[in-house]
Structure 1
């Protein structure tokens, strides 16, 4: 099967490498960064700078770019993938976006004779490289069947949420409410403990062995303890994703005060110049407010 992966970031690279490991897959990646293309090529795939350079007759394309605008350009823009795709190819769009954007892109794809799966993912860079992402998918039975070999390579679990495009994206937006709030409150707890005189490592050790622990606290706060600001997922990702949460909440007349407050915290950290740092460093917003010293980075 000829498969293209558009976007070789932390998730896309892992997915592409997982696909390379599967026998019978011919994997081509797309990314403007030469270092990303070189990594995939060294692993046995091929790579190009533009989606318009995918191999002709590509049967499935997995899109892991940042947002709906980038996904639309990567597929349908002047340098997009569509002219290189085989008739009836499946477009698996895993970018986090508003449900209405997923429905719009699906209609555009289906109007051109392609299958479309609305398929946001979770699992982070580690999960992607292990072929263990979680997929929240919606699409027709034909689209899901065509996408199945790709999902088998990159995911440990595929949740099928229905046939209507937009259901997968709705689920991801709800998930991001939890993810963003959990990261924000993990940072708040760590910052309060530091301000109150608790040694940071001891704070981490107690919380991760007690009822107040969360997956995000246990996964993200080691970055703070190590002073490691390299982004696995950046502060600005949650500025965007929590914006999608509050947008959806407005559309369905639903109050979402915790999501709105968490978004403001991420916006604050971004405004202070930390938008490109690991999302755990939303804690910098608390540092600016309270003057705490963070482990190893001050």
Structure 2
């Protein structure tokens, strides 16, 4: 049994904490507020997790919290999509500093932005070719961390998943939860702000993210490279909406999308729509994640699609 520091108490942070506790470890779960209302581990492991308030950009505070920990899991999710350029650099610097000072391994929860515009299923060996500043920011975070790993100063790894869905996601962090599932449960047509409804897209289940993060934090085979979260075969918005309606016993609904020219025009006056321009290619063409390497290396598999959807639908109904 080892101790781990998990940064960020959103859906991924809580899923990682639950997975680590399930493997017999103890966790300090840190968030800026120190408030965590959803604690799925407490029924069976009430004393395994300490929840603390901590600023993930405070290197001294992180270092103190990480003393004696086997790993630091960076599952931070900045509160605004519009402020990544200012929110991420201090967190990246502080987590690397804490990992180097304490010897704790650093597990970074990354994303797929760094791959840029792709024409084939994404694999971990693909080069980083970001299509915009947010992708470049995440790619640089990984490049800098990997350089320190290769210099022998830290142990780092990064896991990458596609758009999240599942129980426990925070507001405006899941297209599938917020736009498709919630709309169908409310009897509305899903309205997608970018992309094509018939483009195949990978959807990554949050508990599977937590399971891989926990494995990487406790398995020495993971250090020094990136890994893709086990993810079910891609589904289009149209297919996903039909699956949700069938499993929820709800009326099927047509998926509406905002035409690209209108989305571009909206970006002139709506900052959030402007930021979406960088990633809209992910929804305009096939955007498919290949997680074969992770599955074969660690013996992990994605939660079956319909099982994951059923659990998510039940959670969204409460």
Structure number with the higher helix fraction is 1
Work out whether the TM-score is over 0.5.
no
Q: Bigger radius of gyration, 1 or 2?
A: 1
Larger RCO (alpha carbons 8 Å, 6+ apart): 2
TM-score calculated relative to the size of structure 2: 0.42
